[in-house]
Amino acid sequence: MLQVERINVFYGDIRALREVSLSASPGEIASIVGGNGAGKTTTLKTISGLLRPASGSVVFEGVAIHLLPPHRIVELGISQVPEGRKLFPRMSVLENLHMGSHLPEARKRREDTLTRIFGLFPILQERSRQFAGTLSGGEQQMLAIARGLMSRPKLLILDEPSLGLAPLLVTEIFEIIAEINRHATSILLVEQNVQRSLSISHRGYVLENGAIVLQGEGKELLKSEYMMKAFLGM
């Protein structure tokens, strides 16, 4: 479904990504893990068209997308939920959801999508008339994910969905991510919570200083000596 091939990305003279290659197949959860400044968000922004690689390619379902503008990439079936949620705080929950369904096909099927989303997130239906800025942190994260789903993506990209949430809410968010995946949406997940993300992932990539240093099946990566020393404190 997604093939990122040897991309190099710069911020001015600073090289942020070095020959990064990764892939995600239909129906998979693929995770990118690593510390702060490793290049995780830069990778996602390059896939979404917010950044252009200096070299390398990004191919989605056979179409080269690395030179396309972001709105065309969304039209092809990729939706990104950004770090920090980026909601419209003085718009209602329902208005935020409508903002996610701006594509013509998504608008046509908006009511069907809302029914599905309110099944996943019943609290959002209860809060549908409430300003997004008045929701709790966990509810805001649910709304951000739900808004990403409103475009009916084939691939949902999630950037640090558990950031700043209490442990019980983190558990709930990861259960929701697994449920979304069970309903045939592929997921590319960036997380600092290595244990949680790799435990639900079909494949994982470890990014360090802008380069992939380790990859493999998610649960197997957790058993590697490298991961235990670098991220799990063992």
Would you state the pLDDT for residue 231? 67
**Rounded to an integer, what distance in angstroms lies between the CA atom of residue 217 and that of residue 8?**
24
Distance between CA atoms of residues 157 and 181, nearest Å: 12
Provide the pLDDT confidence category of residue 66 given band limits of 50, 70 and 90.
very high
Confirm whether 68 is domain-assigned: no
Q: How many CB atoms lie within 10 A of CB 104?
A: 8
The per-residue pLDDT for range 119-172, each reduced to its tens digit, is 999 999 999 999 999 999 889 999 999 999 999 999 999 999 988 888 888 888
Q: What is the mean pLDDT of residues 32-37?
A: 87
pLDDT at 12 > cutoff 80: yes
Largest CA distance in the chain: 51
Domain count, the chain: 1
Position 59: which residue type?
A: V
Task: Render pLDDT for 85-97 as a digit per residue (tens, 0 to 9).
Answer: 889 999 999 999 9
pLDDT-derived band at 105, boundaries 50, 70, 90: confident
pTM, whole model, 2 decimals?
0.90
Q: How far apart are CA 28 and CA 89, in angstroms?
A: 32
Residue 234 has pLDDT above 60, yes or no: no
* 70 occurs within a structural domain: no
For residue 65, being part of any structural domain is answered with: no
Q: Which pLDDT score, from 0 to 100, does residue 37 have?
A: 86
Question: Does residue 151 sit within a domain?
Answer: yes
Q: What is the pLDDT of residue 87?
A: 93
Is residue 209 included in any domain, yes or no? yes
> Does 24 fall in a domain?
no
In a domain, 105, yes or no: yes
CATH for 130:
3.40.50.300
Residues 6+ apart with CB under 8 A from 54: 8, 9, 10
Q: How far apart are CA 19 and CA 105, in angstroms?
A: 36
| Joined tokens for residue 27 | 């129906």
Rounded CA gap, 199 and 204, in Å?
10
CA dihedral 87→140→91→42, nearest 10 degrees, is: 10
Pairing of strands 78-81, 55-60: unpaired
Q: What range defines the domain where residue 145 resides?
A: 29-48+77-230
Query: What is the percent of the chain with per-residue pLDDT over 70, rounded to a whole number?
Result: 98
